[in-house]
Structure 1
Amino acid sequence: MPQTTPRQRKTMGRVMHEFEHGELKSGRGGKGGKVKSRRQAIAIALNEAGASKFESERENRKHLARTERKEARGATAQQEKEGRSHVGAHGRRESSRAMGGEEARHRTAKGKRAARARSRASGPTYDELYDRARREHIAGRSKMSKQQLKNALHH
């Protein structure tokens, strides 16, 4: 079985989340009732993600495309439960951590260089400002952002 893509892993994670919270249902339209078996939940997750070793490549692609449409529509049990239905990137990549979008925790190498350039252009670093604030006994400095430290030191 080939390696799964980030999108497939995200889908599998969502399905398993639904199972753990008792929201995963089997059968067409969920008419088969709640899934109680972990093995069945894993089988459903692999099927929805298009990563099943028992399906053809074409079937897997078809299943993944259907799941992407479902997630974009906001029709998953998780989205409906969390009140996020109809808030999808319809037909486009979502902005989740798995997809490297807005909510991603890591920066790219290019982003790191750009951030470093911006910080240098704007004067001293956060650590330098914090050291000055400590020497001047500015209260609440540990909770301040770089801009707040700058403002506090200028007064």
Structure 2
Amino acid sequence: MVKESKAQKDTIHRVMEEYKDGDLERGQGGGKVKSRKQAIAIALNEAGASKYNSPSQNREKLKRTKSREAKTEKSRAELYAEAKKRNIEGRSKMSKEELARALA
């Protein structure tokens, strides 16, 4: 078994959570993913841990995924505004990660 980096494990975890929530979609408007095997293949591909790609292709895929994730990440102010709308207790003392966890 190949050792995975923390970034790869985090990406795989995120993709599998999307699958569990029913939010994982196939490429370019292909619809929702229904198969667990397909979700695993997508997760490994996005994480750059696929055995079917070369190491350079895997590095490039992980780099692309991480840059895409960074663009979609909400700021603390946006998370705080959403927590305020939902009336979450103790929101003013929460860090960005704690706010994200409370909203999830």
Amino acid at match of 2:32: K
TM-score, normalised to structure 1, is 0.47
* Alignment map for 1:63-102 (pairs within 5 Å): 63-74=61-72, 85-87=73-75
Amino acid at match of 1:51: A
The 1-side partners of 2:75 and 2:12 are apart by 20
State the match for 2:90 in structure 1: none
* Alignment map for 1:110-125 (pairs within 5 Å): none
**1:4 aligns to what SS in structure 2?**
coil
Provide, for residues 61-115 of structure 1, a one-character-per-residue CA deviation record: whole Å limited to 9, x for no partner: 11001100111011xxxxxxxxxx4449xxxxxxxxxxxxx96xxxxxxxxxxxx
Deviation at residue 6 of structure 1 after TM alignment: 0.8
Residues 72, 87 of structure 1: 8 Å contact kept: no
The 2-side partners of 1:33 and 1:87 are apart by 29
State the match for 2:34 in structure 1: 36
TM-score, normalised to structure 2, is 0.69
- Shift of the 38–59 alpha-carbon distance from structure 1 to 2, 3 Å rule, reads same
The 2-side partners of 1:86 and 1:63 are apart by 22
**2:65 aligns to what SS in structure 1?**
helix
Higher helix share: 2
What percent of counterpart residues are identical? 51
The 2-side partners of 1:20 and 1:70 are apart by 21
Structure 1 gaps of 5+ residues are 75-84, 89-101, 104-155
Does 1 or 2 have the higher relative contact order (CA < 8 Å, sep 6+)?
2
Structure 2 gaps of 5+ residues are 77-95, 98-104
The 2-side partners of 1:38 and 1:68 are apart by 23
Of 57, 63, 87 in structure 2, the residue corresponding to residue 59 of structure 1 is 57
Task: Name the Cα RMSD after superposition.
Answer: 1.9
- Count of matched residue positions in the alignment of Structure 1 and Structure 2: 78
